[in-house]
Amino acid sequence: MEYIKVFTDAYEYKGIMDREKAHASGEWHEVFHCWLLSYCGSDVYVYVQWRSPSKKDYPGLYDITAAGHLEAEESVPDGVREVKEEIGLDIPYENLEKIAVLDTWIGIDREFAHEHVYVCSHSLSQFSLQTEEVEEMDRIRWEDFKALFQGRKDEVNSARGRVLKEDDFVPHGNAYYPRLIHAVEKFLETEG
């Protein structure tokens, strides 16, 4: 069994609970998200993972570069293990930039998502994937990603030549993608 910390909707600590029970009862809990970005000339790209078709939840959809639940004994910096586990990059937490904590949900699954970004220069072939979690890595021009989730484009092209629509992504609720875009934009303003 995997245990996680649970919280009130105001992000006040309540206790520890089995992960499956927390999900089934709609308890708020913490997750770690890391979005990889890269620069190519004047363009910024965001890396997305294509979830394994054998995943229990949202198989075959596109999602955050690397993400996962924080276990009961873990702090937020410990969540960087997800980057190593899922895509094979060993990045010290200090090299990440924390950009937000977003409250979001997928159905009854309620999460406080600790959002991070990391600027890298990896090609798509340089990732070592945990195949039971991640089928493939891809990347999208940041301006296209923004336009897709701001409703200015119905579809975008990925670096692997796929045509992606909003329905191809995990459906995070509570205006997750627009709020994420706002946080990443603030980060990019300080970078440039």
pLDDT tens digits, 21-62: 999 999 999 999 999 999 999 999 999 999 999 998 899 999
- Torsion angle of C-alpha atoms 140, 143, 144, 146, degrees rounded to 10: 100
pLDDT tens digits, 114-151: 999 999 999 999 999 999 999 999 999 999 999 999 99
- Here the tokens at position 31 are 């997750």
Mean pLDDT (whole number) for 96-100? 98
Q: How many CB atoms lie within 10 A of CB 24?
A: 11
Amino acid letter for position 13: Y
State the pairing for strand pair 97-106/109-119. Answer: antiparallel
Mean pLDDT (whole number) for 74-82? 98
- Which pLDDT value is given to residue 107? 86
Interacting residues of 145 by C-beta distance below 8 A, sequence separation 6+: 46, 156, 181
Interacting residues of 46 by C-beta distance below 8 A, sequence separation 6+: 35, 36, 37, 65, 139, 140, 142, 145, 184
Interacting residues of 12 by C-beta distance below 8 A, sequence separation 6+: none
Predicted confidence (pLDDT) at residue 192 exceeds the cutoff of 70? no
